[in-house]
Structure 1
């Protein structure tokens, strides 16, 4: 399978998108925060368990935001951090960030959280420096509550496998120039970033190294317990993760993973290792998440090719939440994300 390696960076240009200049004033995060709080409290008062989805993405040209907001209402979802994954058209035009989050929070200020662009090729492989510079500028300007999801080691998704694609078979060294730049941006801005980084023995040392070298960077390691090739991962377990969380207080994890029947087509293995054969959450994982609930958070991992499946993803995520002790469900559902974004407990 083809892999993409980090290449030289290019220049940054401020462009127009949708009639709005990139440097216009963003929505006030304090105002947005108050709106999210009102929405979550309304849902709690109605007897619902709202959650904050910290990790979903879309093609901004192909998403119906009004319809998606209506689905969040129907499913009683607290809020969604919906990242814009820019494509080849924006890349060729020289765009290194867009105003998608600004537009969505203007239209639906209680539904969507402003988040940076998805860190994917070719932006992180061919123009990494200018892309990261643009993301940092927006972060420093107070435009976003968190940075987007960055793919450093990423296998093709099951949907890409089915259509024969390998465009997201990404391999960028986490302790290389792009990784150091991203960790430094997180330290400097105080914003967390989401990290897609496959769980494999050969990759863990670089992650541990970077977490310790940048103790003020805040990292959300996506897809806890998702291992697509078991033979490549012999160290990872609830005990290993517990030790890593003890050593690295800047590490968080999201809970976007498949159900007990989900199989990765290339390895033909069940790739969500948190489930027992009977479909229940394994006791060791339940105990770890309960003990460290302030380091775990909700996520759906919806993408542009599956936004219409939000009801299915919501049902599976709510089943996971129901497997947790009742006293920690709210913490995982929205409490951890709230503190990570706003620096205080939800009240």
Structure 2
């Protein structure tokens, strides 16, 4: 496991069981990074919030083609959490019994899934519905708008400018670096890396704790791309929780906490910022035990006491 705090513009990092340079699966915290890349693309004029998926992606003629990028960024597109696909039960059993990767689709396979997707009928504005599928499509749409693959977009627009050398999204297990930590289930089973070209924007990014802390620092000091992603623009689960582009904002004892968590077969992650206090926290673990409660608690302590 590894943890980092950011306070007064300084970063403190600690780890146990792995080098501080080791990279972890950050799971759905990837959506927060995709949100930054989306907001950055808007600021560059490459896309607009009202552009539909059928414009940057080859989806003309299917229901998903009419979904706007803005709705994807807020989980209000109506797309399901995961696409319908053959072998879902088989994949789930293989994950539970053998720790195998349930993802791995190529971009072409994702396009096929999108063409077959159906949207809910009778809802002019679909209710918020957390969607990995939607964020996969959002990330690849943003990349297509820039004329890049998502992996290249991640590197050129975020990792290289901020000096985050450990931030990458392997398309296959062969692309996982030697610095990678091995994840385990809560029972201790070794889990395969969750890799895939399609899943990268929604849950396929890996990073070290130090680089995630530097990203948090950049979000707090204003040097990160796409900071508009952090600003809440719509209710998510009632008025208490609001959403920007991927990033959630929750009132916690009078403090506005901007955050996202993540989970894969063998990892859990949590990233949170108290933007008013100028503090942030990163937690990364190579086990499937939840860490959200610890993240909120550590952030509250960092905001009042500074570094641990």
- Provide the TM-score with structure 1 as the length reference: 0.27
- Provide the TM-score with structure 2 as the length reference: 0.29
Greater relative contact order (CA < 8 Å, ≥ 6 in sequence) = 2
Name the structure where helix makes up a greater proportion of residues: 1
